[in-house]
A and B are shown apart, each in its own frame.
Chain A
Amino acid sequence: MSYFAFLGAIEHGLVFSLMAIGVFLTFRALDFPDLSVDGSLPLGAAVSALLITKGVDPYLSVAAATLAGFGAGAITALLNTKLKILNLLAGILTMIGLYSINLRVMGMPNIPLLGYETVFTPIEAMGISPQVAAIGLFAVFALVICVFLVWFFHTDIGLALRATGDNMKMVKAQGVNTDRMIFFGVALSNGFVAMSGALVAQSLGFADVNMGIGTVVAGLASVIVGEAVLSSSTVLKAVIGVVIGSMIYRLAVAFALSVELGPIKLSPGDLNLITAIIVVIALTFPGIRKKLGGAK
Chain B
Amino acid sequence: MLSVVAGFQSPDGGSVLFDGNDITKMPEYKRAEFIGVVFQDPLSGTAKSLSIEENMAIAAKRGSKRWFRMGVTAKRRAFFKGHLEQLGLGLEKRLKTNAGLLSGGQRQSLTLLMAAMANPQILLLDEHTAALDPRTAGLVMGLTDKIIKDLGLTAMMVTHNMKQALDYGNRIIMMHEGSVILDIKGKEKEGLTIPDLLDMFEKVRGEGLVDDKLLLSK
Contacts and interface: CB of A to CB of B under 8 A. Distances in A.
Given A156-B69, A160-B66, A173 B47 contact: no
A171 B33 contact: no
A152 B68 CA distance: 7
Given A154-B72, A176-B58, A177-B29, A166 B63 contact: no
Contacts, number: 88
A157 interface: yes
Contacts of B71: 154-156, 158-159
Contacts of B66: 156-157, 159-160, 176
Contacts of B69: 155-156
A57 B2 CA distance: 58
B201 interface: no
B215 interface: no
Nearest to B114: A174
B61 A170 contact: no
A160 B58 contact: yes
Task: Pick the most buried of B28, B72, B98, B115: most chain A CB atoms within 10 A of its CB.
Answer: B28
A95 to B, nearest CB: 28
B47 to A, nearest CB: 4
B30 interface: yes
Contacts of B28: 172-173
A157 B69 CA distance: 8
A157 B114 contact: no
B67 A156 contact: yes
B59 interface: yes
A154 B6 CA distance: 28
Contact of B50 (A162, A175, A177, A178): A162
Interface string B52-81: 001101110111001111111000000000
Interface residues of A, number: 23
Chain B: interface size category: 35 or more
A167 interface: yes
B157 to A, nearest CB: 16
Nearest to B117: A174
A25 to B, nearest CB: 14
A176 B67 contact: no
Contact of A166 (B32, B37, B47, B68): B47
A180 B50 CA distance: 20
B99 to A, nearest CB: 9
A175 B44 contact: no
A167 B48 contact: yes
Nearest to B37: A173
Pick from B49, B68, B98, B115 the residue with the most CB of A within 10 Å.
B49
B29 A175 contact: yes
B68 A157 contact: yes
B105 interface: no
Contact of A171 (B36, B57, B58): B58
B108 interface: no
Given A175-B32, A175-B33, A178-B29, A154 B70 contact: yes
Contacts of B43: 167
Nearest to A29: B49
A265 interface: no
Nearest to B34: A175
A158 B50 CA distance: 11
A160 B39 CA distance: 19
B37, B54, B58, B63: residue with the most chain A Cβ atoms closer than 10 Å: B58
A237 interface: no
Nearest to B96: A234
B44 A169 contact: yes
Interface in A141-195: 152, 154-160, 162-163, 166-167, 169-178
Contacts of A162: 47, 49-50, 54
B193 to A, nearest CB: 35
A233 B51 CA distance: 10
A169 B48 CA distance: 12
B46 interface: yes
Nearest to B31: A175
Contacts of B39: 169, 173
B57 A166 contact: no
B45 to A, nearest CB: 6
Contacts of B62: 174-175
Most buried by B among A155, A166, A171, A174: A174
8 contacts: A157-B66, A160-B66, A166-B49, A167-B46, A167-B47, A170-B47, A176-B58, A178-B29
A-B pairs with lowest CB-CB distance, top 9: A175-B32, A156-B66, A166-B47, A175-B62, A163-B47, A159-B71, A167-B47, A173-B37, A157-B66
Interface of A: 152, 154-160, 162-163, 166-167, 169-178, 233
